[in-house]
Structure 1
Amino acid sequence: MPGPTLTDIARAAEVSTATVSHALNGTGRIGDATRRRVRETATRLGYGTPGPPRSRTLGIAVTTFPTAWNYTEVAYFSRAVTAATSAAHARGYALTTLPADRAGDDSWHRLTVDGMLIMDSPRGDPMVHALRARGIPLVFDGVPGDPRPGDHWVDNDHEATTREVLDHLAASGARRIALQSGSGDEHYARAVTAAYAGWCAERGVDPLVVPFDVTDGQGRAFDALLRGPDRADAVYAAYDPGGRQLLAAAARLGLGVPDELRVVCASEDPGYATTRPPVTTVTLDPERTARAAVGLLVDLIEGGGRTAPGPVVVPAGLLVRYSSRAQPAAG
């Protein structure tokens, strides 16, 4: 069936067709509230469903936090964007990297792309809502916050990876293992935390979870956890800066790594191989994930949506270094 016309949108929004045209094209002298209401009405009615590829351009964005932050400074996202760009070029498409703080505005209602790769999409993602309504093909890096039948995404098995890390720490001699997990609403944080809680429940131990704070460069959030006779003797940091935060906390509190504190961090930062001591890391293989996601997206665009839905699973890897080594047997 044909999509809604400007007249349909004008009737639903209770404005003139000229106002609708100005609102959708970013022209004219109309109020922000009116412009926003018209665009929201257009999205709700499904206006702007694209036909065959017009721009030979793909978009990529991280929408976990609707604030201004430069995700390309984080090793995982930097490597993913580079690999996605290469993969898009190999298929004859340009790739536009969009800033994170646009996730909450209305620019998604007029974004000109043939398809969108969305990384770490949370529940209630306004950008996803707008692009779905426009019929723009979407592929997700990580399980979308609001998955629908027919969605496509690429992800790691975070439960299996988390359990592998915890089993490794337990085998090295750790008895009180804590988790530094994210405070966002993305699937990654929820999956890692749930896997950790399940692992602890199976062993009859209380979970110890410290919220990740990117501004806590000295790791002071760990101070209470790392003091006292019942302190944690190992921590899995599920986010990139966590390893360095833990090293800073251990140095400040006089704890030897790994003799008194074992550390594992999920990170793509090669610098962890040369810290003192070198830190064991988990790699989520962002290059492979990004290449698979771009391939899925282009297939969706060029195949008219006939690509089979569901997840593509990319294996993670545990790179064991000195920070989590086993202690020699006594005697």
Structure 2
Amino acid sequence: MSLHEEANLTAPPPARRKLGLALLVIAAAQLMIVLDGTIVTVALPSIQNALRMAESDLNWVLTSYALAFGGLTVRPPTGWSDGLALTFDAVAAVLLIIFVLIQRRGTTPMLPPTVLADRGRLGANLVMFLMGGGMLATFYFLTLYMQVIKGYAPMLTGLAYLPFAIGIGIGAGAVGPPMLARTSDRTVTMTGLLLAAVGMAWFSLLTPDQNALTVLLPAQLAAGIGLGLVTVAVTIAGVRGVADQDTGIASGLINTTQQIGGALGLAVLAAIATAAAQIQPTGTPAPDALTQGYTTGILAGGALYLAAVLVAALTLKRRTDQAA
């Protein structure tokens, strides 16, 4: 056998090389989205001081950013029953209905109905929606804990997030592809969500007086690996089976649902955290009350991950179904 023939036998198939490159691009893109959101989150205390904002209004900074990223408009921070907010809600609902009607009648719709007609693709977007809510809220609460409770400088806060970024890279780039080669998107997604939920439960152990890094570093690594697994599996599930000309639309929809889920989830979880801090017994030191609120919000984010596990179990396809 010639050296040329031996090299051809040992070289990976072209399709597999392209798949590996695609997964690497997905992992890198997700990492950049996470870092982008983290930078905004780390700046929240500085934004609060510069604009003299109440801490209860800070979540609207992230909500505005995430919704603008996702292509929507944000509700004003004056309450869910504010007249102006309700007016905008009504207008948005009418415009959404008109948009759907126009899209259904058009010959070249922006979002072809077939993209979400498949149960697996619909489930992938729902999973990403719920995951986005838990993930953005986690950054929000951890940043406030590190800077408000522990007094970390912005630079140290940013460095403290490195285990999360490393975990994302490990999950999406190193662990996810081999798992996807051996099992289904459904299994990988559920495994990642459960691991991320464990990380959220780990964050709930934070207290004002402890060495926070003993909790932050391992919990972020666990959550990061889990979310990395989810990202790569759900992204593939979200585009599987679509027509070639709709692949870009299906991929963009996955990113959009993550951003919208992050914005809406943060609004809800921030309200839960605020309520948890306010119901602490009279005389509770402020750092303890605030930390209780932050960890309660994080646990509620973990509940979103568990809800996403149920969605994945009911909608994503088993390996035998994927091969069919």
Regarding TM over 0.5, the answer is no
Q: TM-score scaled by structure 2?
A: 0.27
Between Structure 1 and Structure 2, the one with more helix by share is: 2
Q: Name which structure has the greater RCO, CA cutoff 8 Å, separation 6+.
A: 2
Between Structure 1 and Structure 2, the one with more strand by share is: 1
Q: TM-score scaled by structure 1?
A: 0.27
- Quick check: which has more Rg, 1 or 2? 1
